[in-house]
Amino acid sequence: MKTAVEIETEEQAVKDLEGQVALVTGASRGIGFAVAERLAAAGARVWICSRSTETVERAKRELSSKGLSVEGDAADVSNAGQTRALMDKVLDKEKNIHIVVNNAGITRDQLLMKMSEEDWDTVLDANLKGAFLCTKAVVRGMIKQRYGRIVNISSVIGVTGGAGQANYAASKAGLIGFTKSVAKELGSRGITVNAVAPGFITTDMTSAMSEEQQEAVLKQIPMGRYGEVRDIAECVHFLVSKAAGYITGQVVQVDGGLAM
């Protein structure tokens, strides 16, 4: 009988995305980095972006040290000009984009009473408008090739709400509405659009929470552990694969049972 490690190694070796081009936003670290790594390991030509050249280059070096060749550039997805420039560069080099993972996201937590307009706008612009800009830039090409896979990284907070997170929850709930609407628009064109709603995943974003907050969340997770970036990357890999061709407009919660 094969060991779990042997099965995992075989799965990693399957190059089911060969010949496809994928763009993963906000991939200098955390979930986006893990998604980029997973898709590249599956044979996709992966492009990444984050806000600074330095972090993009560091991520590329790190992936390259794992034998994965990934392209990338700095782009703030909330900025229409920078997003357009990035997309033009990718399309110029690759001709087509098959997969887009709208992962870039930030938090600016604050109770509503104290939340500034700037904190509201900054979070909505990065998390929601960013997905709109990136998706809009690729759909024409996807329609022409009659194939596309779009995955938006939402959050369980977009489903349940979260005290102190009105801006973040609104952006992530907005992504769910965006996902379903675009799925309806593009379903007949061979393009699927889905959302992944992670629960509590150990990354830089969640390490900003206090130990007390982290312990309180842990108590609510039926599976008794925080998620790992790999848990999200595997789900995204499935959703962008040919195997998931009849799944669209869905929100897949990857949260160890936290929100059900």
Catalytic amino acids? 168
Q: Which is nearer to ligand NAD, 51 or 98 (CB)?
A: 51
Place of tokens 């993972």: 101
Q: Which residues pair with 23 in a beta bridge?
A: 47, 100
Q: How far apart are CA 60 and CA 47, in angstroms?
A: 10
Rule CB under 6 A: is residue 63 a binding residue for ligand NAD? Answer: no
* Cα within 13 Å of Cα(106), Cβ side: 16
Q: Tell whether residue 72 is a contact of ligand NAD (CB under 6 A).
A: no
97 in contact with ligand NAD (CB under 6 A):
no
**Contact criterion met (CB below 8 Å) for 87 and 14:** no
The correct pick among 204, 210, 212, 219 for binding ligand NAD (CB under 6 A) is 204
What H or E segment, with its residue span, contains residue 151?
Answer: strand 148-153
24 is a contact residue toward ligand NAD (CB under 6 A)? no
Does 141 bind ligand NAD (CB under 6 A)? Our answer is: no
Q: Is 155 among the residues that bind ligand NAD (CB under 6 A)? A: yes
A 10 A CB-CB count for 150 gives 28
Query: Which of residues 20, 21, 26, 63 is near ligand NAD by CB under 6 A?
Result: 26
* 179 makes contact with ligand NAD (CB under 6 A): no
Tell me how far, at minimum, the Cβ of 201 lies from ligand NAD, in Å: 4
With contacts defined by CB under 6 A, name the span among 111-119, 141-149, 200-208, 239-247 that binds ligand NAD: 200-208
Contacts of 135 (CB under 8 A, 6+ apart): 100, 102, 150, 178, 182, 193
Can you tell me whether residue 132 is helix, strand or coil?
helix
Q: Which residues are near ligand NAD by CB under 6 A?
A: 25-32, 49-51, 55, 76-78, 103-106, 126, 130, 153, 155, 198, 200-201, 203-206
